[in-house]
């Protein structure tokens, strides 16, 4: 990535946006699977119970917040590491 010149960087940035969208889709499906695994355990009826619905809500919120926090720290660590390598 450090061998790109300015025009290539612009093309790369577009590619990055595409990747971000794909990752967002992947995040969504991963979230569905995770909340299903953790929350939905009662198969006596084909409709979600109230308890399961609140659990799914909490699970989604929590996972998204978790992902955001980890993303922040990830960026900080990457920046720190690239600075460290630069020395």
Binding site for another protein (CB under 8 A): 1-9, 11-13, 15-17, 19-28, 30, 34, 38-39, 55, 57-59, 61-75, 77-79, 81-83, 85-86
Nearer to another protein, 45 or 85 (CB): 85
Contact residues for 1 (Cβ-Cβ < 8 A; gap 6+) = 12
Crossing angle of helices 6-39 and 50-86, in 10° steps, is 150
Give the residue with the Cβ less far from another protein, 49 or 71.
Answer: 71
Q: Which residue has the tokens 């990747």?
A: 19
The nearest distance, CB 24 to another protein, in angstroms, is 4
Supply the minimum distance, in Å, between the C-beta of residue 37 and another protein: 9
Question: What is the DSSP secondary-structure string of 23-43?
Answer: HHHHHHHHHHHHHHHHH----
């Amino acid at each position: 990535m450090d061998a790109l010149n300015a025009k290539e960087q612009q093309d790369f940035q577009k590619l990055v946006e595409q990747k971000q969208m794909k990752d967002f889709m992947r995040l969504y499906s991963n979230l569905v699977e995770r909340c299903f695994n953790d929350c939905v355990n009662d198969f006596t009826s084909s409709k979600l119970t109230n308890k399961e619905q609140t659990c799914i809500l909490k699970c989604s919120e929590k996972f998204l917040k978790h992902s955001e926090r980890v993303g922040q720290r990830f960026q900080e660590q990457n920046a720190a590491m690239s600075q460290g390598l630069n020395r």
